[in-house]
Structure 1
């Protein structure tokens, strides 16, 4: 019963707060106002409704241009990262057509890519590189899909080529690539085991709405975000080597977080 009350209350609050914040953001984008407050406020409200406690280790790098290479467990990763940093996302193209969520992604000035269309990878890297060169910190979920939260899938190196594009687009002599690990660690204060961590995961082609409903009903989940040291990408760097180095660091941070999770209390 309590779970269903949480679901109804959460949906009601989301319905009330989302339209005015979308309008605020659209006006900000149209008239050149500060675009940062609305997305961060919306994501923090959603985190409260979901009952997700965020534990942050480290900080978003201050250096620019910046590409963030993160693992990907669920749609909630976007909410978590956006609640703590003013970032933009590299999202799959079909998301642009989703009701509500597509509009939200556009309001956050996401770049939509078709990962399976290799012939388009150059143009997509160019768009991302241009945004990085302009100073926008872009989040790349480098696995190319979502995992189960227990391990890291191999990083795909193609879109790391955006760093080289940024160099040629006036981004300076180096681009910074920051590895970030997202770890879902506790449910109702108890450490998650491998079998329980799939509660947070939204894998493959699973239907989104039931997963959102399950998180709203359950609540009380802890997630850790670990910001690694940024790596310099220069004209001499090889994207596959940089992608492999970022993958190894994210894997290390994820393993450490899962084996020794923070106590269940809100750090920020």
Structure 2
């Protein structure tokens, strides 16, 4: 009973902190835009979200800041604030997210590219939306597994959206990212667990935990024949980083 009470108190405190951070950062973002300046506040807010949820981000390697398509493994909804806070990237997300209260609005502030993943006939339109974002020199991140994994297994990559860089519209590089939750892999959002239940597990969890974000060596997709080859190369590099992380000491 005491543990449940403490967990609820932690969740409430974190939710209050998230609301205060959101209010302050949205106000600062609005002020920056009103002055005609490029706003860094969406990135800062997402970094704060990760910290409030207990994440200590250990970044290894240097992420590119423009003309890059990040390709990452996917474990949790926390991946988004972790990666965005560390790199400043925007994401490709399912179109349904746009209608989520507050979340959809915040995603739009971070220049999220919304696509209808359920419409296989609309793949060319999805690719076009991502190409348009890259044409604005916006860094974009995708999760080609298409869903979350357990932090140990890397699922097959779906190469459809990688058509955006096969061939690339300009000198764009692909940079694989590897997320390792270490001892907190049990927080992975997999199976049929509802999103609110997983969020509650994260918010009630005591203490902090470290997530390692490895920014792997980028490569030029123009050196590869097609999108499947690009997917294979990105997955190969992430698998190699995963094998090293999971190897017994």
TM-score (norm 2): 0.89
Separation (CA, whole Å) in 1 of partners of 2:196 and 2:35: 33
- 1:250 corresponds, among 228, 238, 247, to 238
CA deviation profile, 1:112-139 (whole Å, cap 9, x unmatched): 1122211111011011012112211100
The residue correspondences of 1:110-121 to structure 2 (distance < 5 A) are: 110-121=112-123
CA deviation profile, 1:64-100 (whole Å, cap 9, x unmatched): 4211111111110001112211110001111111111
Bigger drift between 231-240 and 24-33 goes to: 24-33
Separation (CA, whole Å) in 2 of partners of 1:94 and 1:185: 31
- The corresponding residue for 1:126 is 128
Contact 2:94/2:115 (<8 A) preserved? yes
Separation (CA, whole Å) in 2 of partners of 1:260 and 1:129: 41
Separation (CA, whole Å) in 2 of partners of 1:214 and 1:152: 23
> Are the structure 2 counterparts of residues 229 and 107 from structure 1 closer, same or farther at C-alpha, using a change threshold of 3 Å?
same
The residue correspondences of 1:1-150 to structure 2 (distance < 5 A) are: 1-26=5-30, 28-29=32-33, 32-36=36-40, 38-62=41-65, 64-150=66-152
Separation (CA, whole Å) in 1 of partners of 2:69 and 2:165: 7
- The corresponding residue for 1:185 is 182
Contact 2:224/2:230 (<8 A) preserved? no
State the superposition RMSD in angstroms: 2.1
| Number of equivalent positions | 244
Unmatched runs of 5 consecutive residues or more in structure 2: none
> Are the structure 2 counterparts of residues 96 and 26 from structure 1 closer, same or farther at C-alpha, using a change threshold of 3 Å?
farther
Separation (CA, whole Å) in 2 of partners of 1:108 and 1:236: 30
Contact 1:145/1:204 (<8 A) preserved? no
Unmatched runs of 5 consecutive residues or more in structure 1: 188-196, 262-268
